[in-house]
């Protein structure tokens, strides 16, 4: 059974594979969906500020879970 803290994280930006974490701004996330929609061979890095800032508890229909490492 999931703990209460984990329930809020499922399906949110905090656990989304598309979210980029800003190491300088503690806990700030940016949505990288547009980056991942481009084929890998055509992707070009851009400034993190170009991506929309999203709250960690935000939920959208494009959410994909991060891979869980063991």
Q: Are strands 53-54 and 19-22 parallel, antiparallel or unpaired?
A: unpaired
Whether the CB-CB separation of 20 and 51 falls below 8 Å is answered with yes
First to last CA, the chain: 19
| pLDDT tens string 3-60 | 445 544 678 999 999 999 987 777 789 999 999 999 999 999 899 989 999 999 999 9
Could you tell me which residues come within 8 angstroms of residue 52 by beta carbon, excluding any fewer than 6 positions away?
Answer: 30, 31
pTM of the predicted model as reported, rounded to 2 decimal places:
0.75
**Element (H or E) spanning 53, and its range?**
strand 53-54
């Amino acid at each position: 059974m999931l703990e209460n803290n984990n329930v809020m994280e499922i399906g949110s930006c905090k656990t989304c594979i598309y979210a980029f974490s800003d190491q300088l701004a503690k806990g700030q996330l940016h949505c990288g969906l547009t980056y991942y929609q481009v084929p890998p061979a055509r992707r070009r890095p851009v400034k993190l500020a170009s991506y929309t800032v999203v709250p960690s508890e935000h939920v959208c229909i494009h959410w994909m879970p991060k891979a869980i490492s063991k």
